[in-house]
Structure 1
Amino acid sequence: MRMDVLTLFPEMFEGVFNSSILGKAQEKGIVSLNAINFREYSGNKHNRVDDTPYGGGGGMVLKAEPIFSAVEDVLSRRKEEMASATESTSPPRVILMCPQGEKFTQKKAEELAQEDHLVFICGHYEGYDERIREYLVTDELSIGDYVLTGGELPAMVIIDSVARLLPGVLGNENSAVSDSFSTGLLEYPHYTRPAEFRGWKVPDILLSGHHANVEEWRRREALRRTWLRRPDLLDQVELSPQDRKWLLQFEVEHENEVDPN
């Protein structure tokens, strides 16, 4: 996979792209990560990429010309690179980082991880020329209902979330499968050595060596944690009859804790 980021601050991505899991993924040739300064496509001697909005108002708006030129150049170079490829590739996804966009989820990460080429546009100032939304991008994404100074941090979050799903990126391929939200539930509790720490013991079942019982415990505890912390997620999960029994049990236990009499 190739991921290109159009930004006014490419230096922000140096540590992220070259460290930890993303750095190793690039070394393995699994993913190519590139930060491109779209100011280079301004087309004017002052390298201006923004201007005042028509109709007045506060703030500055990113112009269409440099963004279109940068994306078109990236896609053209990618097309040349893939000209000799034998396998077919999917059309690039051009993603606008925007607080008005679709809220990013694990499901969206899994969808994007199936693509061959992602292009992220990171904005600043008051907003984008609307023609960028209408005629250039394929997706608009937000990482939450709040506003940041630019799209760089959200792009980093999404790139990390997507890259770790690519085959070979994580040392253990099962890690991503059992993550919170991948199954629709929050992840079950984890423990490691020592078996007892300051009088707090690891649940006996995890020391039993009985894999079927361990998996059942993990499912039940993932369900319990979701019920306690994010009950809204349960509406989107396919629950088995056993899951429903556990949920009823959690409710009874909770009622007894609130009113022991």
Structure 2
Amino acid sequence: MTDTSDADTTEPLLTFDEVEKRYGDTAALDGVSLSVDTGTVHCLVGPNGSGKSTLVRVALGLTRPSGGSVECHGSTVGCGFQTPTFYPDLTVGENLDVFGDITGADPGPWFEDVLARLRLDRERDRLAGDLSGGFAKKLDVALALQKEPRLLVLDEPMSDVDDVSRAELVALLDDYVTDERAALVSTHRLDEFGPVLDHLTVVESGRVVVDERAETLASSALDPDSLQRSYVDLVAGNGGGDGSDDGSDAGAVDVGSSDTVE
């Protein structure tokens, strides 16, 4: 967890202002406002169909909002989605080369450390399609990090991931986020990121129902397990969502220094 106690040291990398997304009469996002600031691991939590993935796709410019505005500050955004989008018929190493060429990434020695921490360095010659679910997700995250983005956006990165790989990803995320970087991570399990959580936004039926910093939550004497129980109690029995929360793209996306979608 990054120390962001001095508010003057943070800046927004992504802001939503009363964002709406409608599919006919269904509101996938209904007046969503939030800010992802430097130095934070910002967790976006909600049940399946709550609007999390729609929010992520709007943030990345992959889905156009019906109303409101989205502003992204920074040169690059690294993104990974629920379904990894590497080339299964290429090796891990070939995927790294291809995505590097596509995005113009020229990673330095730090990226070799990333691969080693995720144990992908020993998998370079393996076909990506033969990777286990955990290693497939780790390759997807590595591809998202290849261009060393200021903002890392991950949609359900822990699905199909074993406990060891989950711990590796959480530790890497915690180290990657610095005073100049941030991460927005969507998940349906809050306790997966409890140790590194800086900011929590809970989405239910396309609306923000909780938006708090970690220290505020800590002052309520709520540990990750009790937060998870409170979250489950909040959404239990509720329907909602947009029915279209399935991500499908990954990689690094170039955006302007202040790119606004309205």
| TM-score where L is the length of structure 2 | 0.25
Structure having the larger proportion of residues in helix: 1
Structure having the larger proportion of residues in strand: 2
| TM-score where L is the length of structure 1 | 0.25
**Bigger RCO of structures 1 and 2 (CA < 8 A, at least 6 apart):** 2
Larger Cα Rg: Structure 1 or Structure 2?
A: 1
